[in-house]
Structure 1
Amino acid sequence: MNTVTIDLDAYLQRVGYSGTPAADLHTVKTIIKLHTRFIPFENLNPFLGWPVDIDLASVERKLVREGRGGYCYEQNALFRAVLQAIGIPVTGLAARVLWQMPAGHQPAQSHMMLCAEIDGTVYLVDVGFGGQTPTAPLRLEDSAAQSTAHGVYRIRNNEGDYLLETKISTNWLPVYSFNMKKQSAGDYKVFNWYCSTHPESRFVNELVAARAFSGGRHTLLGRELTYYPLTGPKTVVRLASPQDLCRTLTDVFDIQIPTGPDVDLAIARLFPVAESRV
């Protein structure tokens, strides 16, 4: 049996939760809303060529104490420990990412999310899918549309194979597919190794960040900052310099950026010399 060792008080302070959490739906909804606001999705470590440690002690130190964010293996490992600490049964699952992939694409499993039993109902819980992170728990055995503060989702079940979709305009688009097979720490170690080190991994090649706010979401891909308001068209800004990018990571995404020449060089690579202004 795994022993929960998370400092729950430190986590709740990090996300701005006040009061005493309970093992109920209201608490989980509130904490997910706060988590996705105050702990950003980001992949600075693999982008910089630094290791991504996903044991709970490392994740807690980075995301709770050092003012950083992380990607799915870090985000959902942390949140699994939070749910366990407040008395909610939770299982770690894995998904095949279909978001923005061509039709018919059959990718390997590469995403971690959670299944939790809350108030007698089973929910999909995921605080680590970047710009399409559901900002509320989703009822697993309910194929109807489910609204969250930042989007509408549905889960379709085909004999135990599930498909998460999100509604963009009038279209339902696939996010990821999954089943209910429980994943081990060893499974996640292999998945994380691929995502954080393989030369074809997007997390190695692209700088990505995302954060949800009361009025919408901000996402960053490379040097392109996009704001998706809850209503109305998106706005896109192409950042002009490494200094602009660092300010954006700090001010918009609330990331405590690590320092060092390797950090400066990695960020500078996003700004080709030919585009620099004298």
Structure 2
Amino acid sequence: MADTENTPQLDLDAYLDRTGWSGERRADAETLRSLHLAHMYGIPFENLDPLAGSAPSLALPDLEAKLIRGGRGGYCYEHNTLLTAVLEAFGFGVTRLAARVRLGADGAIRPRTHMLLLVDVPGEPGPYIADVGFGASGALLEAVPLVADTEFRDAGRRHRLVHETHNGPLELWVLQTYEDGAWTDQYAFTLEPFEAPDFEVINWHVATNPRSPFQHLLYVQRTLPHLHRALSGRHLVETYADGTRKERDLADAEEARQVLTADFGIAVPEGLQLSV
């Protein structure tokens, strides 16, 4: 018998207030897509904790305090751990997966450090892929079915999943997005289940390894219905729904703090030294 007395319970009402989602609480494909989109619009991506030299907690009470009540965002492990609890509360079945990020890798083989979710939807012929923690303009806005060679238009973005041959025993899936006139790999994954303790280890590695870019440079993303903002160090890029971009460099750490508050909706911790 599960020890429900000592299992942290999600404050679902507070989460839904934070993301602005409303509707009938049921486990179906439409609800999954709308929950996913509301999360993407409602909670930013940021790496302020690793930048400060600490691995963020993945414990549910700590995620609620930070992402729901604290005016903060997080990176993939935080976002998708929180979404897992939300989806399970709605009645979805969720399996954690790990992916190798290809975006920006220039052909290099990276370790499996990205977290995404395989979601079983009652009444649907197959599972869906959900991922609210990929900090890039090519990230999924809505969950998409796990189907190969089919283009999905999720809230205006274009994605597809393709198979690729490799040496492993499981099929290799690659998520691609259509940007700047071409399909571009985002990450590759198999359907091997990963458990929460696996991501405790990966989270610690990514947040505290001196070679991790999250330790040295500010990475912040905010997705809105008609605009995607990305801040890398001091370089700010705003990408609009029609594909046009505006880019500029922030003057200093003080301007970065102001932009994080005003444009990204992030409550920057007092005393945090921003690397820009």
TM-score above 0.5: yes
User: Structure 1 stretch 12-21 or stretch 81-90: which is displaced more?
Assistant: 12-21
Q: Does 1:123 align with 2:134?
A: no
Shift of residue 150 of structure 1? Answer: 4.7
Partner of 1:25: 29
Deviations 1:21-71 (A, max 9, x none): 211122122121111111100000001113311122211221111111000
Is the CA contact (8 Å cut-off) linking 2:8 and 2:61 kept in structure 1?
no
Alignment of 1:123-202 (within 5 A): 123-131=128-136, 132-158=138-164, 160-202=171-213
Partner of 2:74: 70
The runs of 5 or more residues in structure 1 that have no matched partner are: 271-278
Amino acid in structure 1 at the alignment position of 2:204: W
The DSSP-based 3-state class of the residue aligned with 2:162 is strand
Partner of 1:249: 260
**Identity of aligned pairs, percent?**
34
Is the CA contact (8 Å cut-off) linking 1:45 and 1:51 kept in structure 2?
yes
Is the CA contact (8 Å cut-off) linking 2:55 and 2:203 kept in structure 1?
no
The DSSP-based 3-state class of the residue aligned with 1:187 is helix
Alignment of 1:70-109 (within 5 A): 70-103=74-107, 105-109=108-112
Q: Distance in 2 between matches of 1:191 and 1:164?
A: 21
Is the CA contact (8 Å cut-off) linking 1:150 and 1:216 kept in structure 2?
no
Is the CA contact (8 Å cut-off) linking 1:141 and 1:157 kept in structure 2?
no
Q: What's the Cα RMSD here?
A: 1.6
Shift of residue 234 of structure 1? Answer: 0.9
Task: Give the TM-score of the pair, scaled to structure 2.
Answer: 0.91
Is the CA contact (8 Å cut-off) linking 1:42 and 1:70 kept in structure 2?
yes
Shift of residue 228 of structure 1? Answer: 0.7
Q: Distance in 1 between matches of 2:33 and 2:263?
A: 23
User: Structure 1 stretch 184-193 or stretch 40-49: which is displaced more?
Assistant: 184-193
Task: Give the TM-score of the pair, scaled to structure 1.
Answer: 0.90
Amino acid in structure 1 at the alignment position of 2:160: R
Is the CA contact (8 Å cut-off) linking 1:46 and 1:52 kept in structure 2?
yes
Give the number of aligned pairs: 264
After superposition, the Cα gap between the structure-2 partners of 1:4 and 1:123, relative to the gap in structure 1 and judged at 3 Å, is farther
Q: Distance in 1 between matches of 2:205 and 2:36?
A: 27
Shift of residue 166 of structure 1? Answer: 1.0
Is the CA contact (8 Å cut-off) linking 1:250 and 1:257 kept in structure 2?
yes
Question: Which of 102, 114, 126 matches 2:117?
Answer: 114
The DSSP-based 3-state class of the residue aligned with 2:161 is strand
Partner of 1:15: 19
Amino acid in structure 1 at the alignment position of 2:120: E
Q: Distance in 1 between matches of 2:208 and 2:127?
A: 34
Question: Which of 209, 217, 228 matches 2:228?
Answer: 217
Shift of residue 93 of structure 1? Answer: 0.5
Shift of residue 13 of structure 1? Answer: 0.7
Question: Which of 240, 244, 249 matches 1:238?
Answer: 249
Question: Which of 54, 75, 80 matches 2:58?
Answer: 54
User: Structure 1 stretch 84-93 or stretch 137-146: which is displaced more?
Assistant: 137-146
Q: Distance in 1 between matches of 2:45 and 2:110?
A: 22
The DSSP-based 3-state class of the residue aligned with 2:92 is coil
Is the CA contact (8 Å cut-off) linking 1:150 and 1:217 kept in structure 2?
no
Amino acid in structure 2 at the alignment position of 1:163: V
Q: Distance in 1 between matches of 2:177 and 2:222?
A: 18
Name whichever structure is richer in helix by fraction. 1
